Amino acid sequence: MIANIASSLLEHYRVHARRLPWRAMPGEVPADPYLVWLSEVMLQQTTVATVTPRFARFVERWPSVEALAAARDEEVLGEWAGLGYYARARNLIACARVVAGRGGFPDDEAGLRALPGLGAYTAAAIAAIAFGRRAVVIDTNVERVVARLFGIARPIAEARAEIRLAADRITPDEQPGDFAQAMMDLGATICRAKAPRCGDCPLRPHCAAFASGTPEAFPAPKARRERPHRLGTAWWTERDGCVWLVRRPAKGLLGGMAALPGDEWGDAPSPARAIATVAHGFTHFTLDLAIVARVEPVGEGWWQPIETIAEAGLPTLYRNAVAAVFSRRSDLFAA
């Protein structure tokens, strides 16, 4: 059974592999480690559809790890704006500089794990996909595929050790990169969290979840926790067709990103005279951000022409804040 799982999946992948700009197709020379690394970092918590055009822009601007290492932090953070999880961008810069300094990427998991920002999954993925090393590559999609294949019903958070052992059992010595990407594709396109397409799955004959008749029940969902809610204020200071922007502290949420100045986010009530308010959800909490007009600029920053505000590299929260201010103006003008 174990050997049949790998061979069946690889044969399916040979025919149905997704064409992605960072991927070498089955039988081709492995992709440039720089492209594999960059794509894996971008794809963390972000969909393929969102990443694909942003990846192309990134590689056009910085076609090698050496070019990325030489870029200014502000340029990279600005290009990353809108992709979210901005610690990834800071780690990307740090990692590029380490790799450029050593003359290239390490070619094994241990060496890759020593690089800034590379966890177990990313190191294993690069080792397998870029360097052909046998590695157990487990992302969220792969966890679900393995849990269903072996009938592991517990929530993933409780079953990760068991899932890893099972994934190790089916990972072949040959074509580990193709196998890793085949598992990812299977989870993304067929063995989906909802409405899995079991009729199209090459592993259906081996799948315990399919045999049970209720494949969606595997693995059990994790208990949902309500996120805490916070309140904050951003200050809108406008002068001569420009708005005052600052850069957030390098460490912490949205670290190093361009932003409207403002206070700490907590539980203080929003100001009564806000010109607009935006709601935003972060991973661990939700936020209502009130935008308040202020005459004098606050903090170290710069005057950004409003006509080029889209080029400032604002993250989604502050892009939405700017849009809310402009929308409010349109409402007032229409009235």
Cα–Cα distances in Å, from 94 out to 70, 73, 76, 91, 261?
11, 9, 11, 5, 26
Residue 36: phi, psi to the nearest 5?
-65, -50
137 band by pLDDT with thresholds 50, 70 and 90: very high
Question: Which amino acid is it at 156?
Answer: I
304 neighbors 241 (Cβ within 8 angstroms): no
The 3-class SS string of 119-152 reads CHHHHHHHHHHHHCCCCCCCCHHHHHHHHHHCCC
Q: Which residues contact 72 (CB under 8 A, 6 or more apart)?
A: none
Mean predicted confidence (pLDDT) in 91-112: 97
CATH of domain 229-334: 3.90.79.10
Q: Do domains 2-217 and 229-334 have the same CATH topology?
A: no
- Residue 141 has what pLDDT? 95
Q: Which two tokens stand for residue 83?
A: 């992709």
Q: Which residues contact 269 (CB under 8 A, 6 or more apart)?
A: 231
115 neighbors 37 (Cβ within 8 angstroms): no
Which residue shows structure tokens 């918590």? Answer: 45
1 band by pLDDT with thresholds 50, 70 and 90: low
- Residue 332 has what pLDDT? 44
Question: Which amino acid is it at 205?
Answer: P
Kindly compute the dihedral angle of the four CA atoms of residues 252, 323, 246, 269, in this order, to the nearest 10 degrees.
-60
In 3D space, the residue among 139, 142, 138, 151 whose CA is nearest the CA of residue 220 turns out to be: 151
Q: How far is 312 from 81, CA to CA, in rounded Å?
A: 9
What residues are annotated to the active site?
40
At 260 the three-state DSSP class reads: coil
Mean predicted confidence (pLDDT) in 3-7: 89
Rounded percentage of the chain residues whose pLDDT exceeds 90: 87
In 3D space, the residue among 139, 175, 131 whose CA is nearest the CA of residue 37 turns out to be: 131
Q: Which two tokens stand for residue 228?
A: 């805490």
- CA–chain centroid gap for 307, Å, is 29
Q: Which residues contact 103 (CB under 8 A, 6 or more apart)?
A: none
- Residue 331 has what pLDDT? 53
**CATH number among 1.10.340.30, 1.10.357.140, 3.30.1280.10, 1.10.10.10, domain 2-217:** 1.10.340.30
pLDDT in tens, 22-38: 999 998 999 999 999 99
- Residue 20 has what pLDDT? 97
42 neighbors 84 (Cβ within 8 angstroms): no
Question: Mean pLDDT score of the chain, rounded to an integer?
Answer: 93
Residue 334 has pLDDT above 70, yes or no: no
Q: In this structure, are strands 229-236 and 301-305 parallel, antiparallel, or unpaired? A: unpaired
- Residue 335 has what pLDDT? 39
- Residue 328 has what pLDDT? 83
Per domain, the residue ranges of the chain are 2-217, 229-334
At 2 the three-state DSSP class reads: helix
Q: Which two tokens stand for residue 45?
A: 């918590």
What does the buried/exposed string (b/e) look like for 185-218 if buried means 16 or more CB atoms within 10 Å of the residue's CB?
A: bbbbebbeeeebebeebbbbebbebbeeeebeeb
Residue 82, Ramachandran bin (φ over 0: left; ψ between -120 and 50: alpha; else beta): left
pLDDT in tens, 194-250: 999 999 999 999 999 999 999 999 999 887 788 999 999 999 999 999 999 999 998
Give all strands (DSSP E) within 99-225, no chain letters: none
